[in-house]
Structure 1
Amino acid sequence: MTDRRSPYFDEHTEPVATRIATGLHKIGLAMKQQAWQQANEEGLSATQGQILAALVGHGPLTGTELSERLGVTLPTISDSVRVLVTKQLVTKSPDPRHPRASLLKPTERGATLGARARSWPEFMADAVADLAPEEQRAFFAGVMKMIRSLQEQGLVPLSGMCVTCKHFRPNVRPGASPHHCALVDAPLAGEQLRLDCPEHARAEDTVRQRLWEQFLRRG
């Protein structure tokens, strides 16, 4: 056996990007199956569980806001909310911001189920924990860049990420925490950046692009 690189696998191996996409698809299937199974155990659909989790994590929201955050059509949200109200897991109240809209809020039991639904992805965190710390940091950076790309293409909801928030100040200082959150006036390390922050405020398109370019100068 020699160490010379065989041309066979050069010619018969898909590009790394394609193989990563295949791997993410397999991970997505596992997460979908887990969400369906745990939702079923709670007597919910996966969408109903996501709604309760969003209301617990972000506070009262309208149907439109839920649709935008979850990337689910408004009719699907409305159908799920109707069931949740019937089950006495969600209540409706007038939205002072929009007279024709209703704010949705979980009941006490709904909040309990929503808190459980927020923990559904934890099985995946156990798998990520098997990675070395430097692998976790690299993986997190890659995932964040992929999500940002998908958001800018309109394929997933544009919300929650520090790098798309008007309060984000990338690479404003040297050291281990080069970024800054203007909302809470605190420094941020790369591994502390959030993917789903409840205080996220979407930056305007031109500002968002400028923040991203400034973020990449060091990242």
Structure 2
Amino acid sequence: MSGIFDALGEPVAQRVTGGLATIGQVLKSQAWKGAGPAGVTPTQAQALRVLRERPGTGLGALAGLLGVSAPTASTAVNTLVTKGLVVKEPGPDRRSITLRLTAAGEEVADRAAEWPAVLVRAVDALDPAEQTALLRSLVTLVRALQEAGEISPQRMCVTCRHFRPHVHADPRNPHHCAFVDEPFGDRHLRLDCAEQEEAAPEDRRAAWERFTSPDTAPR
């Protein structure tokens, strides 16, 4: 029988979304505070972080990774070029360009890559098991957004061709990374790995089904 809270309360998904929106506002506020002293906007700082991790990214790909329109990305890049933080280089064909950070851009990107201390402290307040559960939930959310086409492909473990979920009997380290040939656990899952190689769609689906079915016997 449903209680009063079931009758009057908002759906759990809606409350979780509201909590994420609140965290998003904190991140936005902290981004302005952190980017201001460096003389760049949050969007420009995010562009620097992306180019720091993915040198040689094209303008179109950068727009997708930032989740902004091509004109918005172009405006941000042109400003960074003017500031001497980014340089444009010829792309694979005559009509394309790639983007790289200058030495000054690397310094600003390093500062912009630092997560707001207030958020780090909040996550540190969780115990290790809660942090791992939160990380796994974030992986699930990001993958869902990627599969829905709402965000650009992310360099995550769970979509990588080197990911082997639940192949070891050790409950703390049940997964395997074929790239480094080592076992690992949920606490090691990465949302952005430089060595990630996107798996074929059917392989991604099979790996995800196995990842989300922890009772599957190791093989």
Pairwise same-fold verdict (TM > 0.5): yes
**Matching residue of 1:79:** 75
- Correspondence 1:17-36 to 2 at 5 A: 17-36=13-32
- Correspondence 1:76-155 to 2 at 5 A: 76-95=72-91, 97-155=92-150
Return the letter of the residue paired with 1:215: F
Report the RMSD for the aligned CA atoms in angstroms. 2.0
Gaps in structure 2 of 5+ consecutive residues: none
Q: In 2, Cα distance between the equivalents of 1:166 and 1:28?
A: 31
**Matching residue of 1:16:** 12
Label 1:197 to 1:166 Cα distance change in 2 as closer, same or farther (>3 A): same
Matched, 1:216 2:212: yes
**Matching residue of 2:154:** 159
C-alpha displacement of 1:203: 1.7
C-alpha displacement of 1:46: 1.1
Contact 1:163 1:211 in 2 (8 A): yes
Contact 1:178 1:188 in 2 (8 A): yes
Label 1:65 to 1:183 Cα distance change in 2 as closer, same or farther (>3 A): farther
**Matching residue of 2:163:** 168
Q: In 2, Cα distance between the equivalents of 1:123 and 1:135?
A: 18
C-alpha displacement of 1:43: 1.2
Contact 2:158 2:208 in 1 (8 A): yes
Instruction: Report the identity percentage.
Output: 41
The SS at the match of 1:100 is: coil
Aligned pair count reads: 214
**Matching residue of 1:197:** 193
C-alpha displacement of 1:88: 0.6
The SS at the match of 2:68 is: coil
Contact 1:50 1:117 in 2 (8 A): yes
